[in-house]
Amino acid sequence: MQKPSALSELCRKFIGTGLITAEGDEHKRLRKDSSPAFSFRRVKDLYPVFWDVSAQFTAGVAQQLAKKEASPVVEINHWANLATTDIIGMAAMGKDFGSLKQGQDHPLIANFEEITNPSTEKVIYFALNILGLSQIVRLLPWRMNKLADTISTNLYSICSKLVSQKQTELASAKPNTHNDILSHLITTTTLSHQQLVDQFLTILSAGHGTTSVTFTWLTYLLAQNPEIQKRLRSEIHQHVPSPNEPVNGDDLASILQSLPLLNGVCNETLRLYPAINIIYRNTVRSTLLVGNVIAAGVQVILSPWAINRDKRFWGTDAEEFRPQRWIDVDAETGAEKPNNSGGAESNYANLTFLHGPRSCIGHSFAVAELRCLVAMFVGRFEFEMADPDEVVIP
When asked if residue 108 is in the footprint of ligand HEM (CB under 6 A), the reply is no
The one among 80, 90, 100, 275 contacting ligand HEM by CB under 6 A: 275
When asked if residue 14 is in the footprint of ligand HEM (CB under 6 A), the reply is no
Name the CA radius of gyration of the chain, rounded. Answer: 22
The one among 15, 100, 255, 366 contacting ligand HEM by CB under 6 A: 366
Under 8 Å between Cβ of 339 and 312: no
Of 50 and 383, nearer to ligand HEM (C-beta) is 50
H or E element, residue 371: helix 363-380
Neighbours of 198 (CB within 10 A): 25
Restricted to residues 111-170, the positions that interact with ligand HEM (CB under 6 A) are none
Cα–Cα distances (Å) from 151 to 106, 114, 145, 148, 200, in that order, read 14, 8, 10, 5, 16
Cα–Cα–Cα angle for 375, 378, 380, nearest 5°? 100
When asked if residue 354 is in the footprint of ligand HEM (CB under 6 A), the reply is yes
The one among 207, 260, 264, 342 contacting ligand HEM by CB under 6 A: 207
The values of phi and psi at residue 280, to 5°, are -105, 140
- In the bound complex, what is the minimum distance in angstroms from residue 335's beta carbon to ligand HEM? 29
Neighbours of 337 (CB within 10 A): 12
Only segment of 134-142, 148-156, 270-278, 282-290 that touches ligand HEM (CB under 6 A): 270-278
Q: Which value, to the nearest 10 degrees, does the dihedral of the CA atoms of residues 238, 242, 248, 254 take?
A: 30
The one among 203, 218, 256, 265 contacting ligand HEM by CB under 6 A: 203
Of 229 and 352, nearer to ligand HEM (C-beta) is 352
State the Cα–Cα distance between residues 195 and 30, nearest whole angstrom: 9
The one among 220, 365, 377, 383 contacting ligand HEM by CB under 6 A: 365
The one among 260, 274, 338, 342 contacting ligand HEM by CB under 6 A: 274
Only segment of 185-193, 245-253, 268-276, 318-326 that touches ligand HEM (CB under 6 A): 268-276
Only segment of 44-52, 142-150, 218-226, 356-364 that touches ligand HEM (CB under 6 A): 356-364
- In the bound complex, what is the minimum distance in angstroms from residue 202's beta carbon to ligand HEM? 5
State the Cα–Cα distance between residues 10 and 127, nearest whole angstrom: 10
When asked if residue 361 is in the footprint of ligand HEM (CB under 6 A), the reply is yes
Under 8 Å between Cβ of 81 and 196: no
When asked if residue 189 is in the footprint of ligand HEM (CB under 6 A), the reply is no
Neighbours of 51 (CB within 10 A): 24
# residues contacting ligand HEM (CB under 6 A): 23
- What's the first-to-final CA gap in the chain, in angstroms? 28
What are the DSSP E strand ranges found in 223-339? 279-282, 287-289, 292-294, 299-302, 327-329, 336-338
Only segment of 53-61, 125-133, 201-209, 316-324 that touches ligand HEM (CB under 6 A): 201-209
Under 8 Å between Cβ of 302 and 276: no
Binding residues for ligand HEM (CB under 6 A) = 19-20, 31, 202-203, 206-207, 210-211, 214, 274-276, 279, 352-354, 358, 360-362, 365-366
